[in-house]
């Protein structure tokens, strides 16, 4: 504690010496008088200051306090908006976390879509290869060829790889409470599905989803991304009255 | 009962609404982007649909969905919505709310 006090006094003394040394000579006083004052001013032998030195020090101190007060006021005005934000900080933090989660979820779902498309392409390729290899005697003969067998096995391995990756990704999504919206064969629901295509058919009931173009997902029990689907609709019926009008 | 003052930005494609809530202006909306599709409609079962939900069914049920109504604001054009025919009130043609609270034209 004493050390701090001594340090404060020392710094104050250094500052005061600097201020007094840089002070300009009073205006309107002759050089002779100034030189006589200079010999008389300052600390005397008994350690006391003269009146002029005390007055100069007090003036400098007053000016410094004024400057410090102005700086403090400016600082308070600058920080005021930040103080107003304080009550909103928890809400802003929650919103930032939510936004970060959504961005991560978008990436995961995009990844899942792409893996799904890759799996479907591998499945179709495998089916076509199998079909062509089993279609005739020449093809069966070719099937014995080593290169063809290897290609078939490569597609099968690719398909298995996609399946494993998708399974793992689905586990991660389940941990985040994300699940795919089941659409195929279900009645159209505008809340969770987006009708991007319509098929006029008698094969399915009106308003039934006949194809899913892009999977939809629920997060925490609410629709996060609606599915893009094709929906069945009854073909328009032409009545006798319509022909009459034509 | 407190009066709630709200401001509506009615766009042709999307709209936004903001209100003074909890000592600050907040944009209200269903999603994080706070935008509501400027679209309304009825489901085949008669349920009122607003925003994206209505937009999702537009291709399937165009006769039950109305979109981009802003372009018709101020006009006397009658819009069909299922069995209803709606037109803006003469006194408040520029009000979105009054448009949809308007009486049947027939």
Overall number of domains in chain B: 1
**How many Cβ contacts (< 8 angstroms) between chains A and B?**
32
Segment B25-49 shows an average pLDDT of 84
* Closest Cα in chain B, distance from residue A189 (Å): 8
Q: Which residue has the higher pLDDT, A221 or B96?
A: A221
Q: State the pLDDT at residue A26.
A: 65
Is residue B59 one of the residues assigned to a domain?
yes
Facing A190 at nearest CB: one of B24, B32, B57: B57
Residues 6+ apart with CB under 8 A from B32: A98, A99, A102
Return d(Cα A232, Cα A223) in angstroms, integer.
Answer: 22
Is residue B86 one of the residues assigned to a domain?
yes
Is residue B106 one of the residues assigned to a domain?
no
Give the ipTM of the model, two decimals please.
0.75
Is residue B48 one of the residues assigned to a domain?
yes
> Does A227 have pLDDT greater than 90?
yes
Segment B49-66 shows an average pLDDT of 92
Q: State the pLDDT at residue A132.
A: 72
Q: State the residue range of the domain holding B88.
A: 6-100
Segment A156-173 shows an average pLDDT of 92
* Closest Cα in chain A, distance from residue B90 (Å): 33
- The architecture (CATH level 2) of A178-238 comes to Roll (2.30)
Instruction: State the CATH number of the domain containing residue B67.
Output: 3.30.420.40
Report residue A27 as tokens: 């205006």
pTM over the 0.80 mark:
no
Report residue B96 as tokens: 């979105």
Pair A166, A200: CB distance under 8 Å? no
Is residue B105 one of the residues assigned to a domain?
no
Across chain A, mean pLDDT equals 83
Q: Which residue has the higher pLDDT, B68 or A207?
A: A207
> Does A245 have pLDDT greater than 80?
no
| Contact call for A190 and B24, based on CB within 8 A | no
Q: State the pLDDT at residue A140.
A: 65
Q: Which residue has the higher pLDDT, A59 or B106?
A: A59
- Render pLDDT for A47-100 as a digit per residue (tens, 0 to 9): 566 777 788 888 888 988 999 999 999 999 888 888 888 888 888 899 899 889
């Amino acid at each position: 504690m004493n050390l701090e006090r001594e340090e404060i006094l020392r710094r104050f003394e250094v500052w005061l010496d600097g201020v007094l040394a840089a002070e300009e000579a009073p205006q309107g006083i002759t050089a002779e008088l100034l030189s006589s004052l200079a010999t008389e001013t300052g600390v005397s032998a008994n350690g006391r200051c003269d009146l002029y030195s005390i007055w100069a020090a007090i003036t400098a101190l007053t000016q410094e306090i004024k400057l410090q007060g102005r700086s403090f006021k400016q600082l308070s005005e600058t920080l005021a908006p930040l103080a107003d934000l304080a009550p909103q900080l928890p809400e802003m933090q929650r919103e930032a976390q939510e936004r970060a989660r959504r961005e991560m979820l978008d990436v995961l779902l995009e990844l899942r879509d792409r893996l799904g498309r890759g799996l479907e392409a591998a499945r179709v390729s495998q089916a076509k290869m199998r079909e062509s290899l089993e279609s005739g005697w020449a093809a069966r003969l070719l099937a014995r060829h080593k290169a063809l067998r290897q290609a078939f096995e490569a597609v099968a391995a690719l398909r298995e790889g996609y399946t494993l990756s998708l399974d793992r990704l689905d586990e991660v999504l389940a941990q985040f409470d994300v699940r795919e919206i089941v659409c195929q064969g279900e009645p159209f629901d505008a809340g969770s599905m987006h009708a991007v295509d319509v098929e006029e058919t008698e094969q399915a009931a009106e308003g039934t989803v006949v194809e899913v173009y892009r999977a939809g997902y629920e997060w925490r029990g609410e629709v996060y991304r609606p599915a893009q689907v094709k929906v069945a609709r009854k073909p328009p019926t032409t009545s006798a009255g319509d022909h009459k009008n034509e | 009962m407190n009066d709630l003052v709200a401001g509506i930005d009615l766009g042709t494609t999307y709209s936004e609404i903001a209100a003074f809530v909890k000592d600050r202006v907040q944009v209200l909306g269903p999603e994080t982007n706070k935008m509501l599709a400027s679209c309304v409609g009825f489901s085949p079962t008669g349920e009122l649909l607003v925003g994206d939900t209505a937009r999702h069914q537009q291709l399937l049920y165009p006769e039950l969905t109305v979109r981009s109504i802003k372009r018709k604001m101020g006009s006397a054009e009658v819009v069909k919505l299922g069995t209803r025919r709606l037109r803006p009130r003469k006194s408040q043609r520029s009000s979105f709310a009054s448009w949809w609270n308007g009486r049947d034209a027939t």
